[in-house]
Amino acid sequence: MIVAAGGSGGGPAFEGASSPPGGPHAEAEALRRAGTSARGATAYVTLEPCAHHGRTAPCVDALLAAGVTRVVVALVDPDPRVSGAGIDRLREEGVEVSVGTCEEEARDLLAPYLTHRLTGRPFVVLKLAASLDGRIAAPDGSSAWITGEEARADAHRLRAESDSVLVGAGTVRCDDPRLTVRDAPGRSPRRVVLGAIPPGARVEPATSMCGDLGAVLDELGAQDVVQLLVEGGARVAHDFHAAGLVDKYVLYLAPALFGGDDALSMFAGPGAATIRHLWRGRLVSVRALGADLRVELAPVRADASASERTAHRPPDDGTAASDARAKGRS
């Protein structure tokens, strides 16, 4: 959030960003920095300020107490506890509120939060590094450094911005990864292994989970994992993809070819059996990263707006969330 003193433009601006769940919201941080400059100022927020007592005090109260007179909101909060209530309260107290500025940009920026709020599950990012012919390891299993340094650093940034990173137990046995953030600033995410963690694995401390992937996501979501980075291996990548559970694909592609069908594919398991079942995504971005390519793909989900309408229903008997999940994940 940004607090701009002295009306529209001219005055100093004070910024704040939200901390992880339970920590101070962006509003509190920006208002703290603005101090008395907030009186009569305009606040620019991506998400509607909250009006309920959660783990932090309501931001609406903080904005009113600070004397902000105008609030520009990009996006109404889909959280049924907020959903319009924050905006209504501000207006009742005589604050001028406008909604919808930069809404699309805010929706992209807040996609993990919105997914978590609407479905109760983390936003799932699947990361893959492969040769240009889509292979991740040679037939003898060797796979180190297909992509270069820049791609690795970018993947570490992806880790740092995720709350949790997940791999299969097979990957832990074969590659013994640490899954920590080393080549980028930021903290290391919580590590999750699907299956049993072999003794002495470098991934420790980590959580071992098993069972249905949907149930795993429900559990992680309930534990405030807002963004989950899935890092492999090929079986785990296949299972998340095949179940339609991936919200964003990040592919690092090296200008290299294994040149045969005996090298290991990105996805291990049955794929599209017929061309009619070919999965088609939407290219979000393609850019060169050192010698490699970074490709970002999003699944095409027809009914995203319907799931949001569903989530705006009052939280009567808990069915709103499950309906939203069914639609959002279809």
Task: Give the range of 51-59, 117-125, 209-217, 232-240 binding Zn ion by CB under 5 A.
Answer: 51-59
Q: Catalytic residue at 27? A: yes
User: How far from the centroid of its chain's Cα atoms is residue 276's Cα?
Assistant: 30
Instruction: Tell me the C-alpha distance between 284 and 211, whole Å.
Output: 31
Tokens of 94: 């005589």
Task: Give the range of 55-63, 188-196, 275-283, 315-323 binding Zn ion by CB under 5 A.
Answer: 55-63
Output 56 or 147, the one with its CB closest to Zn ion: 56
Least separation in angstroms between residue 19's CB and Zn ion is 11
Binder to Zn ion among 25, 89, 117, 191 (CB under 5 A)? 25
Compute φ and ψ for 325, nearest 5 degrees.
-65, -45
Least separation in angstroms between residue 82's CB and Zn ion is 8
Binder to Zn ion among 34, 59, 136, 206 (CB under 5 A)? 59
Q: Which residue has the tokens 């109260």?
A: 61
Q: Report yes or no: 195 and 169 within 8 Å, Cβ to Cβ.
A: yes
Catalytic-labelled residue, pool 27, 48, 231, 308: 27
Instruction: Tell me the C-alpha distance between 74 and 45, whole Å.
Output: 6
Output 20 or 185, the one with its CB closest to Zn ion: 20
CA angle 198, 267, 180 (to 5 degrees): 45
Task: Give the range of 19-27, 72-80, 109-117, 289-297 binding Zn ion by CB under 5 A.
Answer: 19-27
Of 325, 291, 295, 329, which Cα lies nearest the Cα of 310?
325
Least separation in angstroms between residue 162's CB and Zn ion is 22
Say how many residues make up the chain.
330
Task: Give the range of 58-66, 76-84, 97-105, 120-128 binding Zn ion by CB under 5 A.
Answer: 58-66
From residue 143, alpha-carbon distances to 166, 174, 217 in Å are: 19, 10, 28
Q: Which residue has the tokens 């999750």?
A: 192
Query: Segment 228-247, which members bind Zn ion (CB under 5 A)?
Result: none
DSSP one-letter string for 73-95: EEE---STTTTTHHHHHHHHTT-
Output 31 or 59, the one with its CB closest to Zn ion: 59
From residue 217, alpha-carbon distances to 81, 213, 269 in Å are: 22, 6, 21
Least separation in angstroms between residue 71's CB and Zn ion is 12
| Pairing mode of beta strands 248-254, 292-299 | antiparallel
Output 25 or 325, the one with its CB closest to Zn ion: 25
Query: Segment 112-171, which members bind Zn ion (CB under 5 A)?
Result: none
Task: Give the range of 44-52, 154-162, 245-253, 295-303 binding Zn ion by CB under 5 A.
Answer: 44-52
Output 25 or 117, the one with its CB closest to Zn ion: 25
From residue 48, alpha-carbon distances to 1, 147, 210 in Å are: 10, 41, 37
Tokens of 26: 């962006």
Binder to Zn ion among 1, 5, 31, 50 (CB under 5 A)? 50
Least separation in angstroms between residue 160's CB and Zn ion is 24
Output 50 or 146, the one with its CB closest to Zn ion: 50
Tokens of 133: 């012919």
Question: N- to C-terminal Cα distance for the chain?
Answer: 33
Least separation in angstroms between residue 29's CB and Zn ion is 10
Least separation in angstroms between residue 67's CB and Zn ion is 18
Tokens of 189: 């995410």
Output 5 or 59, the one with its CB closest to Zn ion: 59
- Provide the binding-site residues for Zn ion, judged by CB under 5 A: 25, 50, 59
Enzyme catalytic residues: 27
